[in-house]
Amino acid sequence: MTRTMTIMAVILMAAVALVPIVADDSDAKDSARFCDSYILSTTYKWIDGTVVRDDCLYYKTSNTEAIDAFEKCIKDREGTLPEDDSRTLKAGDIVRIYYATKDISVNVPISVKTPEGYEDRSQIISSMEMPYPPGLFVKAGDTFSIRIDKAVDNYGKDVMCYVVDNGTVYDLSETYTKTMKTTSEFTFETDSPSGGCNGRFYVDIQYDSSGFSEPSGSAALFAGICAAVTIAIFCILAYAGLKPKWSK
């Protein structure tokens, strides 16, 4: 039993230690598009000369959804306010409006105590920042550098990209180099877009970087290895818990 278990443990440990480490250090000129704002989508009904607001959605779960929504907005011309198209709209037509904003407020249902009892109301939690700044992965000990050659928003305006390091602001139009002591997703910030309906939806950047890594190992394999060790230990536990056969 001891020998078998030792061999099993050695094989498992070897598998863990010898899983090929394929670190794809990207070192090239690259381009990317990232979504810089929340896209809010509101549906309005044009009924008897009145705009009745229906549902309100906002896209914030992924950059792709937000950008797709904006593309749709541009293609289907659903970005126009009802007042401007009142000549072409018929009663009952539904119009979806998209507009962009960096900060959104979220309605949270709460229960408020009144003299009459409890009442359902809603509370506004404001200013939730865009949670997904673009990230490039740097491992601890790696030195990376980045220079953003061009950053243009969907309106064709230049965007300023910068990073704040220990209180100092670095303009990323110049090469920025750093050696990381911890692993992290490197992110940068952009100057604030104009707010309201004409807010910036996305920014196209062209950048030159080195020292970043891309994952390429199989997550399933790792989960399997950890699960195998766990199962082995569970088996030892189960085996140890067995009553002797002769005593049954």
To other proteins, the closest distance from the beta carbon of 40 in angstroms equals 17
Calpha distance 56→84 (Å, rounded):
20
Burial of 104 (0-12, 13-18, 19+ CB in 10 A): middle
Identified binder of other proteins from the candidate list 26, 33, 132, 195, rule CB under 8 A: 132
Regarding 124 and contact with other proteins (CB under 8 A), the answer is no
Angle at 193 between CA 192 and CA 196, to 5 degrees: 125
Is 137 or 170 the residue whose CB approaches other proteins more closely? 137
Identified binder of other proteins from the candidate list 183, 192, 194, 198, rule CB under 8 A: 183
Regarding 130 and contact with other proteins (CB under 8 A), the answer is no
Q: Are the CB atoms for 209 and 136 separated by under 8 Å?
A: yes
DSSP conformational letter for 191: P
Calpha distance 181→141 (Å, rounded):
5
**Region near other proteins per CB under 8 A, out of 79-87, 93-101, 166-174, 215-223:** 215-223
* Backbone angles phi and psi of 86, in degrees to 5: -60, -25
Identified binder of other proteins from the candidate list 184, 192, 194, 198, rule CB under 8 A: 184
* Backbone angles phi and psi of 246, in degrees to 5: -70, -20
Binding-site size for other proteins (CB under 8 A) equals 51
Is 115 or 241 the residue whose CB approaches other proteins more closely? 241
DSSP conformational letter for 27: E
Q: Are the CB atoms for 155 and 200 separated by under 8 Å?
A: yes
Identified binder of other proteins from the candidate list 8, 23, 99, 158, rule CB under 8 A: 23
Regarding 198 and contact with other proteins (CB under 8 A), the answer is no
DSSP conformational letter for 22: -
**Region near other proteins per CB under 8 A, out of 38-46, 88-96, 178-186, 189-197:** 178-186
* Backbone angles phi and psi of 191, in degrees to 5: -70, 155
**Region near other proteins per CB under 8 A, out of 35-43, 78-86, 114-122, 228-236:** 228-236
Is 131 or 156 the residue whose CB approaches other proteins more closely? 131
Pick from 106, 134, 103: nearest CA to 200: 103
Q: Which residues bind other proteins (CB under 8 A)?
A: 1-2, 16-17, 19-23, 128, 131-132, 134-135, 137, 139-141, 181-185, 213, 215-224, 226-227, 229-230, 233-234, 236-238, 240-241, 243-248
